Amino acid sequence: MAEYLSPGVYVEEFESGSKPLDGVSTSTAGFIGLAQRGAVEGLPLLITSPADFQRNFGSYLSESAFGSYRYLAYAVDQFFTNGGSRCYVMRVAPSDAQLATNVGSVSEKLSITTKNPGAWGNLVKVVITDASKAKTQIYEVTDKRYRVKNAGGFYAGDVVAFNAGGETQYNRIVSVQGNVIELADELSGNVVDEALLPTKVLSTCEFSLHVIYSDEVESFEKVSLNPEAPTYVEKVAGRSNLVNVRALVTSTDATHPFDSVAGIGTEGKVEFVLAGGTDGSVSGIAASDFMGEDRGPGRRTGIQAFIDNDVVSIMAIPGVTDANVQLSLVAHCENLGSRFAILDIPREKTKVADVMTHRNLFDSSYCALYNPWLSVFDPLDKRNIFVPPSGTIAGIYSRSDNSRGVQKAPANEVLRGVVGLDVQYNKGEQDILNPAGVNLIRSFTGQGIRVWGARTASSNTLWKYVNVRRLFIFLEESIKGGTNWVVFEPNNEQLWARVQRTIDAFLTRIWRDGALMGSSAGEAFYIDIGRSTMTQDDIDNGRLICVIGVAPVKPAEFVVFRITQKTGSE
């Protein structure tokens, strides 16, 4: 309650109606797989185009080196080709992949390693040049204390050079107070210079570090080996996206930092290329690499890295058909309840019995299986290759959501950029696989290649359609995110009425968009909140319980036209 202490007119705002509830995005995909470069722990990276992927994760991997683990880049390409607009990517690297380092090049003074493993690091070039960030002239001397014109840019611990008449004296700063600099040793000779154009100058000693990879250039100007200075090389280079830099020495004497790093007598510049980076091998890849480790917030790997991401709603690990990995992905989706997994079937499993063997490993409404693999053009080998369908299907999910809505089953959709199928299944084979929850991709004369199934891998018939499960994910996440304001509000009739109005307005809009069955909003959904859903014990324990029922639309999977012969007498 506001306090009114002084006479006057007070104008106050208050909220009395329902708060608008926005629907969450359902078209953002998450991919996990091997790539040339990119972080292997931390947060998944947002990618908005194939070019963006190549800038951050590199190009395509060769079949000879990585075999069936190389399909991440192709899946992301297919995702965008088929209508996807944004995705998050998490890189996995073999355990035997190595970082590139500067072994043998200034490595006794600076340790420079690539941010993440891979042979890409062997193309990183480092250039170190002599530099100085500040200079001034000396006005007055008192023992080892020097009053200067401007002490800006001078810090305790910095190495400085005093130049007069072509001679240079090196020293080290002990302290800086105002415009008075105290040095470790007294400068020799007459150092005072009050001329307008000084010939005697006291300047700081630093070096610049340039890191070059392809068309990426990172420049860290005028850094030092002084840990107390804001220009300390580890602090400044810490923002690099390419390398980690660690100083192995500090400026404890009056040696120029460039000379400390490059070696005394080196002319103003030293450059070298990092070496020793390797991509690893297929033998270094294990299921645990994809399943990931929970090392705490910001340090998770593999699937676990997506725990920190609450935007993704579609998940895939392209081409990885190891049962342990796929079951872990499904469990991840079930535990969070906010995303749906698209699973590939091993390419060699083409016969109906073999496909069923793999399908029988799963029973979840949070995943769907698709077969067969797809023929697409490979820019690396300049020929058509077969790739897993998960990336393409994720793009179709996104395209269907954006054009029709999440309530539309992502099926009977044309696959873009696909020129053929690894296996041509017929109707008889689909008669067996479709009821079992395997969604086939088929080619129809004059209609192109289409997704011809929309079932989850669940044995519960209430959740057998992909669009029904994804619609409920959409509703649940939208209501959860849009009603956060309710927490800690007084749990009374006024709050219950506001909550009901908020959800009613949201579900009415969803019904009008065609996502719910019924000729009226009353037939499409109901909302029950109040004394009928809560006991006094619930209220006393801080629980507000709202029961919501919705009637989702189901796809017309079997279209039947019954035709009979009409006789003239009828």
The residue extents of the domains of the chain are: 29-93+283-467, 110-131+206-273, 135-204, 484-570
Mean pLDDT throughout 227-241? Answer: 91
Alpha helices, DSSP H, located in 60-140: 63-66, 72-81
- Where is average pLDDT lowest: 229-238, 365-374, 468-477? 229-238
CA dist list (Å): 105 to 42, 264, 469: 30, 14, 57
3-state class percentages of the chain: helix first, strand second, coil last, to nearest 5: 25, 25, 45
Residue 568 has pLDDT above 70, yes or no: no
Per CATH, domain 135-204 is 2.40.30? yes
pLDDT at 65: 85
Mean pLDDT of the chain: 92
pLDDT at 164: 87
Asked if 31 and 76 count as a contact pair (C-beta separation under 8 A), the reply is yes
pTM for the model = 0.89
CA dist list (Å): 327 to 146, 323, 333, 366, 482: 71, 6, 10, 11, 31
The residue type at 497? A
Asked if 70 and 385 count as a contact pair (C-beta separation under 8 A), the reply is no
CA dist list (Å): 142 to 155, 174, 217: 19, 14, 45
Residue 89 has pLDDT above 80, yes or no: yes
Is the preceding peptide bond at 372 cis, omega within 30 degrees of 0? yes
Q: Is 554 exposed, middle or buried (0-12, 13-18, 19+ CB in 10 A)?
A: middle
Out of 3.40.50, 2.40.50, 3.40.1350, 2.60.40, the CATH code matching 110-131+206-273 is 2.60.40
* Cα 264 from chain centroid (whole Å): 44
* Residue 201, C-beta contacts closer than 8 angstroms, at least 6 positions apart: 135, 136, 137, 162, 163, 164, 193
Structure tokens at 507: 């579900």
Q: Residue 569: pLDDT band by 50, 70, 90 thresholds?
A: low
Asked if 280 and 95 count as a contact pair (C-beta separation under 8 A), the reply is yes
Out of 3.60.20.10, 3.40.1390.10, 3.40.50.300, 3.40.50.11780, the CATH code matching 29-93+283-467 is 3.40.50.11780
Relative to beta strand 314-316, strand 29-34 is parallel
Q: Residue 291: pLDDT band by 50, 70, 90 thresholds?
A: very high
- How far is Cα 531 from Cα 545, in angstroms, rounded to an integer? 10
Mean pLDDT throughout 152-176? Answer: 89
